Amino acid sequence: MDHPIADRADQEAAHGAEAPGADDDQADFALVGDLADGLRCGTVFDDLLDLPREAVCRPIEGRAEEVELFVGGLPSGETVEVSEADAHHRDGLEDEEDRELRPHLGRQLAGEVGGAPGPLRAVDGHQDVIDHERLPKCVRCVKEWPRVPNGARRPTARRRERSSPFRHGRRDKNPRSCKMRQMHHFFATAAKGTEGALRDELRALRLPRVRADRGGVHFEGRLEDGMRACLWSRIAMRILLQLGELEARGTQGFYDAIRSFPWEDHLSLRRTFAIRATVRDSELTHSHFVALKAKDAIVDRLREKLGGRPDVDADRPDVSVVIHLAKDVAQLSLDLAGAPLHMRGWRVEAKEAPLRETLAAAMLALGRYDPALPFLDPMCGSGTLAIEAAQIARKIAPGRGRHFGFMRWPAFGDEESKAFRALQEDAKAVALPKAPAPILARDRFADPLEVTERNLHRAGVTGSVELEQRDTRDLGSLPPRCQIFVNPPYGERLGGKRLQLEGLYRGFGQAYAPLEPEHRLVVLSGSPYFERAFGARVRARHRLFNGPLEVDLLSYGPMPA
């Protein structure tokens, strides 16, 4: 969401659609690869390019489908006189696969680029800045070239298909128009305080250009990468495909901006949709009002373009539109997950104040849970921590048993479905039949253990977790180097009194004290009384949020290497 969406022509270029007057023999390129963070992968060249030799695309020898992007590194203040430019074109063959890109030298830049001819100027040391007044009109969405120091490996550019699979509210029949090959910007939302853990998780999934931010993590990639994140992320709450940003001032300005966006590329008359809006520091202060105005604008746009309007389904929409209005900028996204990702599909029953699965996974990640060592949750409740630990230990994808929102998108066709089935098959293949170390779940009462047993069955990890009814203050004999993870009652939502809570914490601390030299303990505490009553010295601390409650993740005992 780094580039504002200026007009319909830019959107058609960004989605690969033909711009008015475009020639069938034009070549399209999308910049990908090891570009600097400032250059977005959606940059499109949809016409013959006349660029100076210092910043020019050339075909790689022997490979017609790839071109190399040369970006010069002129010292600051120096200029280069341009006398030649490369123009890339196709040779007009009927078969698009046989068309090759060839350099065509000898064309003069002066008089062909627009504006007065003259030298390009390099600034900022290693960054060539091309004057936008002298750029060809065919170059769209280009903000700046990346910083490439002299001698650094130069990025590459790969061809991208022009046609959009979202056309007139239906999937394009041309298989080459699939969005699977296009690059997108994604944002994975996370509970406050868990952004770092989510960043590390997405990097472990080998997703491109992962970057943590407040409230979540940015990454880039193809639609398949977004689907992989939905399938495998344990910490993310939602995965958003970012569509862009619109300037939206006031009520009418917001309506006009939303209506100007090409929603017909993403919605159809036969699919339901819903809008979820958030507002921050904006003239429009009510999120429900923002959602209603956005709905009106989208419906009016689709009625104008498609001759009708889709239905709104607030509970289970086919396409979930997310709008974040910050000051005078509306950020538009589509929610790939549909239902929040903490809804794994196995929790049908829960005791009071259950721990969300995403927060439990973040607790395990930040507490550095090691699947090769024994695990114990002495206050298991409905079994969330034990189930998450078992699925991590057995390498079970958290989203393997659920449906996602993108599966009901109008553009989710055969190729997308095939790619997602391949991801599911890969996830099934890497799953282990049993956990490598014992996983224990205990509780003082029988009712929570019965709920945990049913949840274990639905999660597919029944044989991996051993249940036992035992008082919290009686830890008993433990396997060597056992990891103890616990989410004790806070008293906020369960109505516990201070003396009762302090007694529980003190008794648990006394039971853990003789075990501290060998066994590590990680506690998610939301009570101001816990640390003093527990008594042991905290080794590490993380500030998290369990819904609206501010909590601390406390580590005791020997720290892992």
Residues 238-270: tens digit of each pLDDT: 999 999 999 999 999 999 999 999 999 999 999
Residue 337 pLDDT more than 60? yes
In the chain, where the domains are located: 18-161, 179-335, 357-396+431-556
Sheet order of strands, 540-546 included: 466-469, 439-443, 375-377, 483-486, 520-525, 549-556, 540-546
For residues 275 and 348, the answer to whether their CB atoms sit within 8 Å is no
- Give the model's pLDDT for residue 352: 63
The vertex-410 CA angle with 408 and 414, nearest 5°, equals 80
- Give the model's pLDDT for residue 264: 95
The span from the CA of 532 to the CA of 505, in Å, is 9
Mean pLDDT lowest among 27-31, 367-371, 423-427, 522-526 = 27-31
Mean pLDDT lowest among 137-146, 210-219, 363-372, 406-415 = 137-146
For residues 486 and 511, the answer to whether their CB atoms sit within 8 Å is no
Residue 523: pLDDT band with limits 50, 70, 90? very high
Closest CA to 241 of 337, 326, 161: 337
Higher pLDDT, 238 or 73: 238
CATH code assigned to 179-335: 3.30.2130.30
- Give the model's pLDDT for residue 347: 84
Q: Is the dihedral of CA 133, 136, 137, 143 positive or negative?
A: negative
Residue 160 pLDDT more than 50? no
Residues 77-127: tens digit of each pLDDT: 333 333 333 333 333 333 333 333 223 322 322 333 333 333 333 333 333
Residue 525 to residues 45, 138, 205, 533, 545, Cα–Cα distance (Å): 54, 58, 30, 12, 10
The span from the CA of 487 to the CA of 351, in Å, is 13
In a 10 Å sphere around its CB, with 0-12 CB exposed, 13-18 middle and 19+ buried, how is residue 516 labelled?
A: middle
- Give the model's pLDDT for residue 353: 63
- Give the model's pLDDT for residue 500: 85
Beta-strand relationship, 540-546 and 483-486? unpaired
Structure tokens at 382: 């409905």
Higher pLDDT, 163 or 325: 325
**DSSP for 420-442?**
HHHHHHHHHHH--SS-SS-EEEE
Residue 473: pLDDT band with limits 50, 70, 90? confident
- Give the model's pLDDT for residue 499: 84
Q: Kindly report the average pLDDT of the chain as a whole number.
A: 74
For residue 177, give the DSSP letter.
G
Residue 486 pLDDT more than 70? yes
> pTM, whole model, 2 decimals?
0.69
Residues 273-300: tens digit of each pLDDT: 999 999 998 889 899 999 999 999 999 9
Residue 179: pLDDT band with limits 50, 70, 90? low
- Give the model's pLDDT for residue 102: 29
- The three-class DSSP label of residue 483 is strand
Mean pLDDT lowest among 152-166, 178-192, 435-449 = 152-166
- Mean pLDDT of all residues in 28-33: 31
CATH code assigned to 357-396+431-556: 3.40.50.150
- Give the model's pLDDT for residue 373: 96
With pLDDT > 90 as the criterion, what percentage of the chain qualifies? 56
